Amino acid sequence: MSYLHKGFFHLSGLVLAGGMLTSPAHAEDTGDKVANALNERWASTVTNCTDSKGHVLSALTCSGVLLRPKHTNDTEHRMSAADVLFLRHDLKYPPDNMTGEILGGQYALADGKSVSAACVRPSPVDYTITREAFGCGKPASVPHNNEDTDNSTCNSLIPGPGEAGWSWDGECSLSVLIHREFKLAMDLNRASPGNLPMQIWYRYWPTSIADDVNNLHMEALLYQDGDEKALTGRQNDRALFLKNNLNIPIIRFTARNEKPFSYHADEQVMKSECAEKSGGEKIACQITQDYNNTAESCGNGDYDIAAKCSGVVIRGTSGNLNRTYRSWEASPESLKNGGISFSYLRKDAKFKRLSFDYSTGFIFYPEHFSHGQASINILCGYPLDAGTGNRSNKGCGPASNSRLDCDKLEFNIKTGNDWVKMVYENAKTEHDFCGFILHDEINSFLGAKKGFTVMLDAMRALNSQKDNKSFSEQNELRLEAWPKMKKDIPLEAFFYLPGHPDALKSAQKDQSEFKIFSGRIVPVIRLTLPQTPEADAVFEYRKEDQLMLMQ
């Protein structure tokens, strides 16, 4: 998304707070204290700051709230930089869609090779265009970054807000260190058209917030009042941080309030009917919640795709009671190929049958909630079954007999409709389908998060344009094959489909064998797949289906 080429502005990401006005509110502090600190910084209208030695500093060091939009992309990675938005009530800001993560700002002007401010722009430039000097310079196909403390390019050269000649999308940037230049940036922002906030470019931004959460000093998770989907997203994020022993409060933003930041204790966890349940009943309830969770992504990292915290990652297996292998093990073919096929089932990604019409199988925990079990990489995905056993690159590359050049097509596939028009309508067989790369070890033009979103969008397009094609046929994910004797795979449940001979017995056989193999008791779940597009999958725990009960 380009800030300057859209009729709306979506603020979603991290917020850093200025570091000298008050002591940064730590995660251990109450949510009310965090909200109060943000309101104080938001309300400040200082034009400069003073340190303990009397030195005059820019207003960045003691005022304002810094918001990191949630759009990390390959362009910013090439620049080793990221754009952050400077927000105060006396400056331009969009009143809607304030949602993301709030961070403390004591590192805002740090020296050395750490996250630190490089320059400021009075109005944001397009973050999808590669630029020199950590985003502070002119566009360049190959960015050149210098190690200057101040990467701004136009200090003392920019006319004031009342003068002609200022280009709002130009290459000029101003200093975050020189207080007069930062004040000029604020004056220019007030004179700018529209409601676009000031943009600060940061050098050495981490690929994933999880990689550098301590240095970034996360302070809170933010959502816009009335945006229930955003609140659910922040609750998902908070659960992920709690898993890593980080207690980050959720803060509500109410536009046009004198004190727009507020804390509400009842919003800190997703309202869940699962909390009072236990054992297999709780597992079935949590799987149902995952199925109903239609999160767009699972964090700020490039590879935090929605499947890591929502939906059901499911694999159908043979129900043959005389099988001589264990259903959860990778086959010799999969071990040789390096990938194993699963599907992704969610309220907005439904299908009515499993591959090969299997009636039994197993479900993996979402990666962000794996309860101490190992993480298995999701490598790639396809809107439909793609015949991946005949493909290179662990099932993510082209088939030997593919008629389409997916390497060329991927540059033009940006929506689900693009995939239907360019791939599905030109494919002769499933071996022609182009997939979406979802893991960092494989190059991707779209990026993992965007690729997964487009994959789900393609399923919707297939349903609306091609007689519910993706509902009639399951999608396909490729996961990295795990060693045969691996006991800590993130297996959440075995399942069976009702109405199929021996399906329950097969799932019970799996439950018994997995207990012997791993020492863990995993419940058997009765899964009813939807048979019409309007219906939903149903996950049921029945005590009478269990050979053994969870403790």
**pLDDT value at residue 76:** 78
- CA 77 to each of CA 203, 394, 412: distance values in angstroms, whole numbers, following the listed order: 10, 26, 21
**pLDDT value at residue 84:** 85
Give the mean pLDDT of 510-533.
97
pLDDT tens track for 265-302: 888 876 667 878 899 999 999 999 999 999 888 876 67
How far is residue 345's CA from residue 307's CA, in Å, rounded to a whole number? 10
How far is residue 460's CA from residue 456's CA, in Å, rounded to a whole number? 7
User: Quick check: 472 pLDDT over 90?
Assistant: yes
Q: State the alpha helices, DSSP H only, in 442-502.
A: 448-465, 469-472
**Mean pLDDT of all residues in the chain?**
84
Between 133 and 45, where is the model more confident? 45
Radius of gyration over alpha carbons of the chain, in Å?
A: 26
User: Quick check: 16 pLDDT over 50?
Assistant: no
pLDDT tens track for 365-380: 998 887 779 999 999 9
**pLDDT value at residue 17:** 43
Q: Tokens for 387?
A: 């015949």
Q: Is the pTM of this model over 0.75?
A: no
**pLDDT value at residue 3:** 35
User: Quick check: 122 pLDDT over 80?
Assistant: yes
> Which residues is 479 bridged to in the sheet?
340, 378
Query: CB-based contacts of 145: which residues, under 8 Å, 6+ apart?
Result: 79, 80, 81, 132, 133, 134, 151, 203
How far is residue 506's CA from residue 525's CA, in Å, rounded to a whole number? 12
Give the mean pLDDT of 502-530.
97
Between 300 and 501, where is the model more confident? 501
Chain-centroid distance, C-alpha 190: 33
How far is residue 237's CA from residue 297's CA, in Å, rounded to a whole number? 10
N-to-C CA span, the chain: 49
pLDDT band at 313 (very low <50, low <70, confident <90, very high): very high
**pLDDT value at residue 329:** 94
**pLDDT value at residue 144:** 83
Cβ–Cβ under 8 Å, residues 329 and 343 = no
Give the mean pLDDT of 121-139.
87
pLDDT over 90 percentage in the chain: 47
How far is residue 27's CA from residue 216's CA, in Å, rounded to a whole number? 12
Q: Which helix (H) or strand (E) holds 237?
A: helix 228-243
Cβ–Cβ under 8 Å, residues 494 and 514 = yes
**pLDDT value at residue 14:** 43
Instruction: Return the minimum-mean-pLDDT range out of 96-105, 134-143, 180-189, 503-512.
Output: 96-105
User: Quick check: 155 pLDDT over 70?
Assistant: no
Dihedral angle, C-alpha 390, 384, 342, 531, nearest 10 °:
-140
pLDDT over 70 percentage in the chain: 84
Give the mean pLDDT of 426-443.
85
User: What SS3 class is residue 548?
Assistant: coil
Other Cβ atoms closer than 10 A to 513? 14
Backbone angles phi, psi at 444, to 5 degrees: -150, 135
pLDDT band at 25 (very low <50, low <70, confident <90, very high): very low
Between strands 11-17 and 198-203, the pairing is unpaired
**pLDDT value at residue 510:** 97
pLDDT tens track for 379-389: 999 999 999 98
Give the mean pLDDT of 83-89.
89
pLDDT band at 222 (very low <50, low <70, confident <90, very high): confident
pLDDT tens track for 345-370: 999 999 999 999 999 999 999 988 87
- CA 275 to each of CA 81, 98, 286: distance values in angstroms, whole numbers, following the listed order: 41, 30, 9
**pLDDT value at residue 499:** 94
Cβ–Cβ under 8 Å, residues 306 and 381 = no
pLDDT band at 106 (very low <50, low <70, confident <90, very high): very low
Give the mean pLDDT of 115-144.
86
Q: Tokens for 529?
A: 């797949």
User: Quick check: 506 pLDDT over 90?
Assistant: yes
Cβ–Cβ under 8 Å, residues 79 and 128 = no
Cβ–Cβ under 8 Å, residues 220 and 249 = yes
User: Quick check: 243 pLDDT over 60?
Assistant: yes
How far is residue 192's CA from residue 176's CA, in Å, rounded to a whole number? 19
pLDDT band at 483 (very low <50, low <70, confident <90, very high): very high
User: Quick check: 180 pLDDT over 50?
Assistant: yes
How far is residue 64's CA from residue 86's CA, in Å, rounded to a whole number? 6
